[in-house]
Structure 1
C-alpha cells in the first residue's frame, strides 16, 4: 500500500483552525470517525498521544506526522490538514507546524505502518513537494500533490 492509495478527498482539509496539537488531532480523529476509518475517537487519540509521548512527530519545515495504531482503526488512512494558523508542536526545528499528516493504522499493520510512514516522510522532505504545499490554495491542491 502507498500513501497515494490512501489519500482520499474527504480526508483532506484546508484552513483547519485549532489552538494546539490536541485540538487538531481531535478534529482529524473526529473526521476519521465520520468516514468510518475508526470506531472510537478516544481510543484512537490515546494511541496517537502514546506515540507523541515517545518523541515529537513534528519533523521540521512546518510539518507534523502524528500517527496511531489501534484496534479501533478499520483501515489505513491519512488525514491531511493545512492549518489556518501555525501551531506549536515541539518540532525538531523548534518551528510551529502548518501541515499535519495524521496516519491511522490498524493494530495488525506493523509492516504497513513503517512503509507508509517512511514513504510519507520521504515525500515530505522533497523540496518540490514542500514548494507545492506552500503554493496550495485548496484541499484539492493538497490532494493532487499525492496523486499517483
Structure 2
C-alpha cells in the first residue's frame, strides 16, 4: 500500500502546538479516534510507546516516524503533523523534531507495516521532499507533497 493512498486531508495537521513527544502522540491519536482509524485511544498510545521503548523513531533531520500496531486500529493510516515548535524526541541526530508521521497499523498488518515504513522512510530521505517540507506553508502544501509521489 502506497503512502499516497492512505494520506487523508483530515489526518494532516499544520502548526500543531505541543510541548513534548507524548503531547504530539496524544493529539494525533485524538485525530485518529475522531476519524475512526482507532477504536481505543489508550491502547493505541500504549502500542506506540512500546515501540518507542525499543528505540527512537526520531530518524534525524527533524523527522519522527512513530508507529503503533494494535488490535484497536481499524485501518492503516498515517497522520502527518508539522509542529508549531520543534520538540525533543531523542532523535538519532540529537536534534528536536518538527515533522511527525504517526502510523497506525492493524494487528494483522505485518507486511503492510513494513512496506509503509519502508516507503515513508525512503520518501523522507529524498532531498526534494525535505525541501518541500521545509517550505510548506499550509496543510494543503503538506498533503500535496505526498499525493504527488505515489501515483
Query: The TM-score by the shorter chain falls in which range?
Result: over 0.9
Partner of 2:40 in structure 1?
Answer: 40
* Partner Cα separation in structure 1 for residue 146 and residue 19 of structure 2: 27
Partner of 1:51 in structure 2?
Answer: 51
SS at match of 2:8: strand
* Partner Cα separation in structure 2 for residue 138 and residue 26 of structure 1: 22
Residues 41-80 of structure 1 aligned to structure 2 (within 5 Å): 41-80=41-80
SS at match of 1:91: coil
Gaps of 5+ in 2: none
Residues 1-148 of structure 1 aligned to structure 2 (within 5 Å): 1-147=1-147, 148=151
Gaps of 5+ in 1: none
SS at match of 2:19: coil
| TM-score for the superposition, normalised by structure 1 | 0.99
CA-based RMSD of the aligned residues comes to 0.4
* Partner Cα separation in structure 2 for residue 14 and residue 123 of structure 1: 19
Shift in Å, 1:13: 0.5
SS at match of 1:108: coil
- The superposition leaves residues 31-80 of structure 1 with CA deviations (integer Å, 9 ceiling, x where unpaired) of 00000000010000000000000000000000000000000000000000
| TM-score for the superposition, normalised by structure 2 | 0.97
Poorly superposed stretches of 4+, deviation over 3 Å: none
Shift in Å, 1:82: 0.2
